[in-house]
């Protein structure tokens, strides 16, 4: 596609529920990144994929968070047993394998609200 697409744009869920957030990267971009942005803060790194594999998942806060990218394109961020502290904007970005020249291309994010 022309840009990075994230769905849904907004998600409200009840505490304890399971949610899935989807990211559709730019076609041909081998690297895909997930960030979490809390209100008034900068994006916080969660995980990045190179192809189908997670190259670095050191930013995932705990085992309730999991992400997959089974075919090296679309990725899903999964959050189990959601807590109110999980409320944030979840940003996805993609890049060529070496992003140094162009940086990342970001989507518009999914705003997750846990009530």
Partner 1 sequence: AQTVTQSQPEMSVQEAETVTLSCTYDTSENNYYLFWYKQPPSRQMILVIRQEAYKQQNATENRFSVNFQKAAKSFSLKISDSQLGDTAMYFCAFMKLGNNDMRFGAGTRLTVKP
Residues that bind partner 1 (CB under 8 A): 31, 33, 35, 40-45, 48, 50, 55-56, 59, 89, 91, 93, 95, 99-109, 111
Nearer to partner 1, 56 or 83 (CB): 56
For residue 26, the minimal CB distance to partner 1 (Å) is 13
For residue 15, the minimal CB distance to partner 1 (Å) is 24
For residue 59, the minimal CB distance to partner 1 (Å) is 8
For residue 97, the minimal CB distance to partner 1 (Å) is 8
Instruction: Report residue 15 as tokens.
Output: 């505490």
CB proximity list for 105: less than 8 A, separation 6 or greater? 3, 4, 26, 29, 93, 94, 95
Over the range 73-103, which residues count as b (16 or more CB within 10 Å of their CB) and which as e?
bebebebeebeeebbbbbbbbbbeeebeeee
Distance CA 64, CA 21 (A): 14
Instruction: Report residue 60 as tokens.
Output: 């995932």
Nearer to partner 1, 12 or 15 (CB): 12
Nearer to partner 1, 91 or 114 (CB): 91
Nearer to partner 1, 39 or 70 (CB): 39
């Amino acid at each position: 596609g022309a840009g990075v697409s994230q769905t849904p744009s907004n998600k409200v869920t009840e505490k304890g529920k399971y949610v899935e957030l989807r990211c559709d990267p730019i076609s041909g971009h081998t690297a895909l990144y997930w960030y979490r942005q809390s209100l008034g803060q900068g994006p916080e790194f969660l995980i990045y994929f190179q192809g189908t594999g997670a190259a670095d998942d050191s930013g995932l806060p705990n085992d309730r968070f999991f992400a997959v990218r089974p075919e090296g394109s679309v990725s899903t961020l999964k959050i189990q047993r959601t807590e109110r502290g999980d409320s944030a904007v979840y940003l996805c970005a993609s890049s060529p394998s070496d992003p140094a020249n162009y940086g990342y291309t970001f989507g518009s994010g999914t705003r997750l609200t846990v009530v």
